[in-house]
Amino acid sequence: MSEARIQSALISVFNKEGLEPIVAEMQRLGVTIYSTGGTQTAIEAMGGTVVPVESLTDYPSILGGRVKTLHPKVFGGILGRRGLASDAEEMAQYGLPAMDCVIVDLYPFEETLASKAERDAIVEKIDIGGIALIRAAAKNHSDVVIVPSQSQYGDLLKVLKEQDGVTTLAERKRFAAHGFRVSSHYDTRIHAWMAEDAGIDALDTLNLSELQGRSLRYGENPHQPGRFFGDLDGLFDQLHGKELSYNNLLDVDAAVQLMGEFANEGPTFAILKHNNACGLATRDALVEAYRTALASDPVSAFGGILIANRPIDLATAKAMSDLFSEVVIAPDFSEEALGVLTQKKNRILLRIKPTAMPQFSVRTALNGVLVQAVDGSTEEVEDLKCVTKEAATEAQVRDLVFAMKVAKHTKSNTIVFAKDGALIASGTGQTSRVDALKQAVVKAEAFGLSLDGAVMASDAFFPFPDCVELADGAGIKAVVQPGGSIKDQLSIDYCDDHGLAMYMTGVRHFKH
């Protein structure tokens, strides 16, 4: 049948908020309401008349509330096909009342999990009856309207108020599709928790679900539709500016990941463009960190993403104000800084919140999906092994660590030059390591930045000694790289012969 009128409804919800106007409309339309337990009590308090489920099943709520609606008289009334004579006969034979609408709000499993509750409490918030009701009603959408969550209350209320409870098949299909979306997401979250609890490697299965999402103006290019799934509001407070775009989000992600390496360092400022750092510095004052970062590549900084590991103060805001930037990210902004930065109406200001980030990265490839653990390795001073006769100074070693952190978050192949806690230049995303090094040298020269006494980091090993030869000629005095080439010794020998210090980490940081 195409059109169907709601004449009876089963309501079983955890959260009763938002139910009252629905109950009122059902009362107006003479809809028979079935319910049990706390939901029944709440509906009656709203002035609604309720037929207790127990009067149908002859069973009370048992096992501490674990079993309330799981009964043939309930599910038969939901699953019975109205247009099938044999189903109609059996419903009449067994006294199964047709239920035209099912309203469910599931136990708050995710919220209980997030609250760090005890394991037994989490298990008790795994809804059984509610999920079964959603699936049954959604399956029989030819005859039944399923309202699987509070987010659909508005749609149901519209049907009751404007259509006197009459739905079309197309409408019931949409309700049903959302019902399976809710049940799928719920089970996905339970599976993820139970798999972790059972010690199952997260890489053994791929089971992702995210209900929250927002449409984007477009994807990477205007002809590509785009959407973001996730809880951005849980990570940022947007204080000003236009909506974030697809490309903004990619750059913001790169910026957040990079600045995570410097969370415990002194005032640090980074400028990114197309997911790569074009400026980064750590200084005693944030404004000086910004100025030093900008000096690395003021051309690429135009239209970039700016991020700091300290609140933005007035001095820093004034220094930043003349640069056109898409997004500024910081732990906070002073009122005076906001007054300066909000003068550009489209500039996006994001206050970042402490939030756990995903431990796995996911991307489509061919006709499937690639999943890997995030690159969580960060090399510190103690992880650097000197393999040459010459050793770096303490300051140079600190710069080597700094440079490798930047290299880790730069597109491969990459070479990074750094000095005195600042990025001087980098070669990014090149098809050969030598080309990446040459690009970095050209950029440093273009902005009048001396490489004399600077250090160099490489995301992967040197297959030949040509990289250290070129670095030496440019003024580099210390080098860090993962090592692992069968020709490592050639690079080591060159360094020994020319007074360069070389360190190896044993950890590669490819980024594609």
Catalytic residues: 139, 274
Nearest to 157 by CA among 38, 12, 18: 18
What is the amino acid identity at position 73?
Answer: K
For residue 247, cis peptide bond before it (omega within 30 degrees of 0):
no
Three-class DSSP category at 430: coil
Three-class DSSP category at 243: coil
220 vs 237: CA distance, rounded Å? 24
Q: Which helix (H) or strand (E) holds 472?
A: helix 466-474
Helices 129-139 and 72-79: angle between axes, nearest 10 degrees: 30
Q: Where are the alpha helices (DSSP H) in 266-313?
A: 286-296
Nearest to 465 by CA among 443, 432, 491, 487: 491
Residue located via tokens 């250290």: 468
Running DSSP on this structure, what letter comes out for residue 334? -
271 vs 296: CA distance, rounded Å? 10
343 vs 89: CA distance, rounded Å? 72
